Structure formats: structure tokens, C-alpha cells
Structure 1
Amino acid sequence: MIIGYARVSTLDQNEQLQTDALTKAGCGRLFVDHASGAKAHRPELDHLLDVIREGDTLIVWKLDRLGRSVQNLVDLMNLLQSRGVGFKSLTENMDTTTPGGVLIFNVFAAMAQFERDLIRERTSAGLQAARARGRKGGRPSKLSEKQRARIRELYRSRALTVQSIANQYQVARNTIYGIIRSTEGTDGIGALQTVEAGDR
């Protein structure tokens, strides 16, 4: 079976251009999503991937209608290939059922890997430069060292539960546990959780 997939970004956009081209290309069944390409969840694409079978061919009007990024596109095409499903893009004249189409796909895959390697290198270089300046990576703490010390005091006093301390400082319980763990270890946390359970 030849299956077509179309996507438009909002409900206001008309998918007629894509569906007309897909129908002309011989698609016997069409799936259309009205969603941004940045959205991970596209229900019609998910449905399509559930029903498509070995020997079928998926056709799109343009590559960017299928993938949110080069890497996402490569991942989807790898999935299709593993299932024995052909893929065609009308605008780019790409067809993985032909040797030339397979070559183009391999170029895309290589580009995606190259992009990942560059991002990894830039991230690593940035972290190393930050460490050289005495800075640590990660999200800055919402709490000052003075506040963290006060949290430890409240914890040791057993005057308040972890939830009460978290509410007071407007942070999550996990944040409080992280502060406690850094000085008390996991045994202290276990003891406090036991006390809290007894209070209930």
C-alpha cells in the first residue's frame, strides 16, 4: 500500500496542496496532522506508524513535513527501513526504494551524526572553559548558602517535616533532600522519612 502523510502547522492552514500532490502520487490512504513540527506528539503520525507494514511505501510532499529536525527525520527513516517500508519525498525527489535514494539518506544520516558531534564538542569545550574560570556547570541554585545552612539546621532539629521546610523555602522536596544528602548522607534522610511516616 502507498500511504501519504501531510502536516500543517495550525488549524488555519490548508493541507489541500499536500493532499492533492499525495493523491496524485498514488496514495491510497492519507494521514494529516495539524500540529507544529516542534511537537513531539503527532497523533496521526503515531497512527500511521502503527498501521504501516512491510512492503508499504510512505510518501510526503516535503521532508520537513515529516521530521522536526535532521536527527528526527533520520530516526523516522531508520524506523521505516527496519520495517521494510519504502520512503519518498516528492519535493526533494527522494526515494529510498532506489540506490540513489539510499545514498541521499546515508548523507542525511552522516550530517545528523556530524551535527551531534559538533554539539557535544561545543558543550564539552564550554564546560571546560567554565571550570577553568572556577565555575561549575548546571542550573544555578535558587537558595543561598545561608539558606541552605538554615535548612540543615531545621532538618537536624526535627522541628519541621521536609515538606514543611520545602513549603517555607518554596522549593521541591527533592531539593531539600539534595541539601540534606550533601551533608547527612542517605541514612539521615531515611531516618527523617521514618519520623515523617510516624507523624502521619
Structure 2
Amino acid sequence: MASTPAEWADTDGPLEAFPANSSGAQVGYGRVSTKGQLLDRQIAALTAAGCVRVFTDKKSGKNAEREELWKCLDYLRPGDTLVVPSLDRLGRSIQDLIAIVSGLRKRGIGFQSLHEALDTTTPGGRLVFHVFAALAEFIRELIVQGTHEGLEAARARGERIGRPPAMNAEQIRHARALLTQPENTVTSIAKLFGVSRTTLYKYVPELAVGRGALVSGDRTGPTWPR
């Protein structure tokens, strides 16, 4: 989980660059979304920036299985700096990006993004990442608050919250009528409505008593659905 701005402030100041001693190697990471795209320009830019080794993935940023990224992160040592062509090459989202860079910081590893000219080994770059973290937390809280308010408003209007029912009232009445006819099997009726046998038993609970209950009108047992 990504560190919050408050957690970062507990350990050092927002203008304190990290790592304190960036005397290690610069290691690059590049990524393209599809196999048809070329990595040449990214590799050239990272090499020109002084990277002694470059890891690359050919996968969408939404794909969590970025094997070369994990190898790259494992390869880095305290004092090293991870260099990427741009921020969107590293993180799947701003939260993902902050989580990765926060993890690097805890290990004493710096981070640079060439396109955005962001460098956590400098005070300005450190401050920018504090702003990123604060914005991400603020957006998350707004989304959570908006979701809660929307649910409360929907409940106040009497709207149903959650997944829609698998069968509506008309379908349940039709299913009961079909079940009173012995030639219709439970399986065939369930298939007719596109539900499972279990779902049909849920919405017509008197089936648990027996199909005879549908003919006699016995509605004892589980709650009778309206």
C-alpha cells in the first residue's frame, strides 16, 4: 500500500532529497503496450541518460504481470536510481506510481522520469512527489465520500442497492404457472428464464416443499417472494 503524505512527513522533510547518497548506478526501465511497438527510442533515451542497464516490458500498463519491472526493482540497490522515459511507463495509475516510488524511497533508491524532468534526488523533485501523494489521497477520499453520499441518496429515494434481481415479479408468476404443469421440468423452466435451478428455487421457495404446493397454494416454509 502506498504511503500517505502524513507517513512520509514522519520520517523526513518534504524538501529532503532521497537517497541521501545517490552514488550508485542508474538503472532504466521502459515499456510499450503491444509487441508491435518498438522500444528503440526509450532504450536510446535511457542509455543517453547514463543507465548502465535497461529492463523492458512489452505489456499494457494495466497488466500487473510486468516481469521485467519486478526484475528491475529486485536488481536495484541502495544508492541506485531508477530512470524511466516518462511516468506513464512505470505506473498503471497515480496510486500505483506512488506505491512504487515510495517503496524505492524506503530502500534508499532514487527515481527519475526524463519526460517530466522529475528527480527525487533533488529537493524540487521530492516536493513534487509529496504533491502527487497528497492529490492521490485527496481524490481517493472524494471518490469514497461521493460513493457513500450517492448510496444514501438512492436509499432515501427507495431505490434498490446492489445487483438487480435475477427474476422479476412477472417472471416469477410465469414460472409458478409453468411449474403447476407436470410435463414441465424444473431444469427446462430454469433454462427458459436463463437462470440456474438454484436461482429458481430461491425465487420460488415453495418448490422446497414440493411441486404439489404450487397447485394447492401452500406457501409455508421460506418467505414468499412478492
TM-score with structure 2 setting the length: 0.64
Change (3 A) 1:117 1:2: same
Corresponding residue number in structure 2 for 1:26 = 50
What residue number does 1:120 align with? 144
Deviation at 1:147, TM superposition (A): 8.4
**Residue 157 of structure 1: aligned partner:** none
- Asked if 1:9 corresponds to 2:30, the answer is no
- Mapped partners of 1:87, 1:172: distance in 2: 53
Cα deviation 1:63-119 (Å, max 9, x = unaligned): 111111111111111111111110001111111111111001101101111110111
Deviations 1:4-61 (A, max 9, x none): 0001111111111111000011111111111111222211112112222211110001
For residue 44 of structure 2, what is the amino acid of its counterpart? Answer: D
Q: In angstroms, what is the RMSD of aligned CA positions?
A: 3.1
Amino acid at match of 2:121: T
Amino acid of the structure 1 residue aligned with 2:123: P
1:99 matched to 2:140? The reply is no
Flag structure 1 segments of 5+ consecutive residues without an equivalent. Answer: 151-163, 184-200
Matched, 1:55 2:79: yes
Given the superposition, is the C-alpha separation of residues 172 and 123 from structure 1 closer, same or farther in structure 2, using an over 3 Å criterion? farther
CA–CA distance in 1 between the matches of 2:74 and 2:160? Answer: 44
SS of corresponding position for 2:162: coil
Query: RCO (CA 8 Å, sep 6+): is it higher in 1 or 2?
Result: 2
Distance 2:196 2:59 in 1: 33
Amino acid at match of 1:55: G
For 1:30 and 1:62, the matched residues in 2 are separated by 14
Report whether the alignment pairs 1:67 with 2:91: yes
Q: When you count helix as a share of all residues, which structure comes out higher? A: 1
Residue 165 (structure 2) pairs with residue 132 (structure 1): no
TM-score, normalised relative to structure 1 = 0.72
Structure 1 CA distance, aligned partners of 2:161 and 2:63?
28
* Percent of paired sites with the same residue: 51
Residues 1:130 and 1:31: Cα distance change in structure 2 (over 3 Å): same
**Quick one: structure 1 residues 131 and 102, their matched pair in 2 at CA, closer, same or farther if it must change by over 3 Å?**
same
Which protein has the larger Cα radius of gyration, Structure 1 or Structure 2?
Answer: 2
SS of 1:31's equivalent? strand
